[in-house]
Chains A and B, each alone.
Chain A
Amino acid sequence: MHNLEAKERVSMQLHYDVSQHYFHEATLLQDREFSQWLETCVAKDVHYWMPVVERRYVKDKRLEPSPNDMAIFNDNYDELKQRVGRLGTGAVWMENPPSSVRYLITNVQAFHTDHAEELVVLSNFVIVRNRSQLEHSEHVGCRRDVLRKVGDGFQLVSRKITLDARVTEDKNLYIFF
């Protein structure tokens, strides 16, 4: 799914709909409506992936990371559901009081594919996490999604998340991207 080829750009209307979907998705995550996010925005056959990207020399011929390699996220639907379930146990001590996580989603470009119901969508993000008194972290990167048209909305079929930082400047990445 991650390699589904992007064809022509979508119409202005469809681009608007995709953008609104992303802002809605971000709002659900910001509001910690994780179950609703999972149920409405995520397809049952999702692959949610954040590879580990090394700093390599330009001439290095080794292959790009694949989902067979060790990854920071490499989840299917049930695994995402378990992450959401953990947050709902009431026993994640560090999320009480909860963090504030803010999503800035930009540079959205949507493309048709050979599958009528599926779009390839590229976007950039800045995710800012504030915790406790002064704890602050920022995560900048990009996403390559495959979105499926479902009813009036969209569901995530695959998401490849690439962080720009080699070293994560945060104690963990237990947030959704």
Chain B
Amino acid sequence: MIDMDKLVDIENSTQSKQVFWDQDIYDLELERIFGRCWLFLAHESQLEKPGDFFTTKMGEDSVIVVRHTDGSLKAFINSCTHRGNSVCTADSGNTKSFVCNYHGWVYSTDGSLVDVPLKEKCYHDEIDMASLSLPSIRVDSYRGFVFGCFDETAPSLVDFLGDWGWYLDTWMVGAGSGVELVGPPMKSILKCNWKVPAENFVGDAYHVGWTHASALEMLGGELGGLAGNRANMPFDELGIQITTRHGHGFGVIDHAAVGIHEKRDGYLKFLQDTLPSVAEKLGQPRAKLYDGHWNCTTFPNCSFLYGTNIFKVWHPRGPHEIEVWSWVIVHKDMDDETKREVVKQAARSFGTAGTLESDDGDNMVNSTRNNQGRHTRANNMDSRMAVGYEGPHPDYPGIVGSSFIGETSYRGFYRFYQEIMSADSWEAIRAKDDQWDDCFPNKDYWAKRLAAKANVGE
């Protein structure tokens, strides 16, 4: 029997190493997390015309997402209702229908079964076509980002994102036209538990200076000072970290959006030119985030770096392996040359052969693999950095940590991980909507800090 309270200790901010290794925990994750959360599928820029499709994964389930002839988006399980074979074997494309290679059953772009070979002669016209549609999946999109959900009782996508959507709007709406994703995605295998990169992106700016020392040293510039943690930096003044309901979270380094991009003139100019209208449209607090560099995870497995603009999904393949899919985010209003340069720089730093990407893999593999040892995984992992240096903020929703380096959003991620793994239903999760942040008890942290700062200013 899995005891989630024991595996994830909210009060002491520790997690059992078993969560990166045990098969029974993973099986429960597929049921309770991947089976109940909204999972990223595709971006609408990939699915513009009727018949445009993209094949992806939700947990370990193969899924097709497609633009139906009526203009709506549909998603269904990529498995023939006859004997289970795949009905689509391409990465993407445009089609009028999906035809199973096995016996030739034909499905429309809404998943309905429209033709069966030898229907009259061999089924004697007695096949109930209407009951044999591909199993459909709830699908919805937020600012063009398409998500799917297996659970009919889950909240709407917009409610699932909650305050995280408010933050996402900073650049998903931005100056008005928003963003698109550039693919097709790079894909690679990483032999780690899916939560290792998810937690890394949600809240780990701490590793940047050390893990990425070599790349930062070559890069120089504003982030070069982080290399080897040598620079004496006032970390509490350079950014914040945020966790919101449902485990989403991010950290932001102020004014560092383009920091990882070697060539950045066009990109920087675009951000500078659009900043005033972001401020006007969305207000000063979000304008302050707009030219920052963000490390983020949308719970559970969709991570990205806004600024660097790499966008990733960690598809689980058992407890000890993932597929990493990587796209690049570009603002729709950028000119073509700037878009190309952003794509190039993002792939160069965090693509499959990325100068920074290449630093991370080994840590993630070993953080997983070591737990093969039973005495190793009998221990806990620690995420107590700056406990208490966090709380509600007058300008920013959720719980806000003191600096971009801290583990506030780790704690938020695992708080929700424990909650959803323990909960029998979304109803039980909804019941805690007003108390989810009780585990961050220092409610006056920001009031005191901002007052102290104001006093110094006087």
Task: Name A's B-contacting residues (CB within 8 A).
Answer: 50, 52, 54-57, 60, 62, 68-75, 79, 82-83, 85-87, 89-94, 166-174
Contacts and interface: CB of A to CB of B under 8 A. Distances in A.
B347 A74 contact: yes
26 contacts: A52-B183, A52-B185, A52-B186, A54-B91, A55-B90, A56-B93, A69-B343, A70-B327, A70-B344, A71-B344, A72-B347, A72-B352, A75-B348, A86-B217, A86-B355, A92-B214, A93-B362, A168-B188, A170-B189, A171-B188, A171-B189, A171-B358, A172-B353, A172-B358, A173-B188, A174-B357
A136 B361 CA distance: 14
Nearest to B182: A70
Contacts of A85: 218
B65 to A, nearest CB: 15
Interface in B336-364: 340, 343-344, 347-348, 351-355, 357-359, 361-362, 364
Contact of B355 (A55, A83, A93, A167): A83
Given A54-B91, A91-B213, A93-B211, A74 B190 contact: no
B353 A72 contact: yes
The CB with the most chain B CB atoms within 10 A, among A94, A170, A172, is that of: A172
Nearest to B215: A86
B218 A171 contact: no
Contacts of A62: 93
A72 B188 CA distance: 11
B328 interface: yes
B191 interface: yes
Interface in B212-260: 213-215, 217-218, 227-228
Nearest to B325: A167
B361 A86 contact: no
A168 B189 contact: yes
Q: Interface residues of A: mostly helix, strand, loop or mixed? A: loop
Interface string B196-223: 0000000000000001011101100000
A86 B189 contact: no
Contact of A174 (B182, B184, B262, B353): B353
Nearest to B181: A70
A72 B228 CA distance: 27
A168 B327 CA distance: 15
B63 to A, nearest CB: 16
A170 B190 CA distance: 7
Nearest to B89: A55
A59 B95 CA distance: 10
Interface in B74-132: 89-95
B356 to A, nearest CB: 10
A86 B188 CA distance: 22
A89 B213 CA distance: 9
Nearest to B362: A94
B189 A167 contact: yes
Contacts of B344: 70-71, 74
B187 interface: yes
Given A70-B327, A172-B353, 8 more contacts: A60-B94, A69-B343, A74-B347, A92-B358, A166-B91, A170-B189, A172-B188, A173-B353
